[in-house]
Amino acid sequence: MTYFADVVTLARKDLLLELRSRDTVPAMVLFVIAALVVFSFSVPADVEERASYGLLWIGLVFTALLGLTRAFAAEREQRVLDGLVLAPCDRSAIWLGKGIAVVAFLLLAEAVALPAFHLFFEPVGWELVAGVLLADVGLASVGALLAAMAAASRTRELLLPLLFLPLVIPVVVGGVGASLAEDPGRYLAFLGLYDAVFAILSWATFEYVVTE
């Protein structure tokens, strides 16, 4: 129980920080809307139907990346991560708290992005919504771990995309597949498996990322 109390404490702190500073969610929303507007003008009408889902998923992955570059900014500025690491709680609670906050930020961005996608491109079906929800868990799991890793580096702006983008290719494959395939269940199961594998890996390795 204390583990989950720590997770709630840490996630609530991240949501409060965002509510105060408002530096991450507005940037994510503006970015994803701008990307969809640009895509809507750049894709020829005859290929639009098939390409549009791919473009949406590219937009969502880069929106997540934008949020993740700021994920540990508050901890980095005042070396607060040292303070959290020294607390007697399980260090994976820091990762889980951050992951929950990242999922919340993604949901807010997607609450604007999906209606915009419906407006500019294609109707939004249940398969797409289910795919996006499953993808959020995977993006946040991997992203929170890599963001913590990158936060300790001077080249974090370069390091995070270099580590994050190759690792989330399966999310794009699963997401596009779930949106377009006749049988989306297989792709949704694939996304669920990705979430489970990477959540367990990230949970188990976070301690080694934040300590020497």
Partner 1 sequence: MIRAEGLSRSFGTKRVLRGLDFEVAERDFLLVTGPNGSGKSTLLALCAGLLAPTGGSLDVSVERGELGYLAHEPLLYRELTALENLDLYGRLYRVPERRERIGMLLERLRLWDSRHERVGSFSRGMTQRLALCRALLHEPRLLLLDEPYAGLDDAGTALLDDELGGLAGERTFVVATHDPGRLDHVATERLGLS
Residues at the site binding partner 1, with contacts judged by CB under 8 A: 2, 5-6, 9-10, 13, 16-17, 20-21, 74, 77-80, 82-89, 211-212
* SS3 call for 2: helix
Is the distance from CB of 136 to CB of 110 less than 8 angstroms? yes
| Sign of the CA dihedral running 18, 24, 30, 36 | negative
Minimum distance of partner 1 from residue 20's CB (angstroms): 4
Minimum distance of partner 1 from residue 137's CB (angstroms): 25
Nearer to partner 1, 104 or 129 (CB): 104
Minimum distance of partner 1 from residue 11's CB (angstroms): 12
Identify which of 203, 199, 146, 192 has the alpha carbon closest to the alpha carbon of residue 170. 192
Is the distance from CB of 127 to CB of 178 less than 8 angstroms? yes
CA angle, 77 then 82 then 84, to 5°: 105
Minimum distance of partner 1 from residue 73's CB (angstroms): 10
